[in-house]
Amino acid sequence: MTNLRLVNVAVMNSAVKTDSDVVLVESPGRVPFAEIHQHMLDLQAELGTAVDSDLQQRVLLFEPSPVVTLGSGAQGENSILEEAKLSQHGIDRYSVDRGGEATYHGPGQLLAYPVIQLQEHERDLHVLLRNLEEAILLTLGDWNIEGQRDEDNTGVWVGDSKIASVGLSVRRWVTGHGLALYVSGNQEPFQWIIPCGLKNCKITTMESLLGSSVEIPAVEARLKFHLLNLLNRTEVSS
């Protein structure tokens, strides 16, 4: 990976600052991807057609079952290198409506899907993507890991290895999908696809970099804190 650049940790919220909206944070732990994805789509549809401004927005934080997701930019079979290995390990392929190409999700990854209504001053999707990256950078910093952006691609890297991916969908100004942070576990299935359209893309995890165990609940707590701050949202109890 070339053109890596270290960025200053800075809050990049929209120019207009308003009172925080409240969101319900759902943390179901490890769940089947198909189940949580359908839940996200249902929430998007409900919020997108709601006339009640008090309808609850959500942030979904979870650890997914193994799956390869194909975004709107994926080129079908050209995104898959080892179809037989995916089948052998029971890894499904799932077409989704986010931007980007193919990626792998599975145990050891922490995914965050904000399902929120964007107000007029929040409708700069470039800023929203940068805020998702910023939440990752700040979370890595809590473990003294120095993350980087790539000026040509979304996501976060450490050196020349990718440690997090970012991809969004927006329907009627309601967001879906979000980010995946690679905390621990076996990420070998990345080798069986062309992740995010990047050939020979190296993947790393927080545990690999630190050489010690990293608990997902601890990472989830810090990621939630940074994400809510950057999205200008406040958690409400269910």
Contacts of 147 (CB under 8 A, 6+ apart): 136, 137, 140, 141, 156, 157, 158, 163, 164
Compute how many other C-beta atoms are within 10 angstroms of the C-beta atom of residue 74. 23
Q: Which residue, 210, 190, 204, 174, is CA-closest to 80?
A: 190
For residue 201, indicate whether it is catalytic: no
Q: Which amino acid is at 61?
A: L
Annotated active-site residue in 60, 111, 156, 196: 196
CB burial of residue 4 (10 Å; 0-12, 13-18, 19+): middle
Structural tokens at position 105: 């999700």
Q: Which residue, 89, 118, 117, 111, is CA-closest to 36?
A: 111
Q: Which stretches of the chain are assigned E, i.e. beta strand?
A: 4-5, 21-31, 57-64, 67-70, 92-95, 102-105, 109-115, 148-150, 153-158, 161-171, 174-182, 202-203, 233-235
The residues that are catalytic are 196
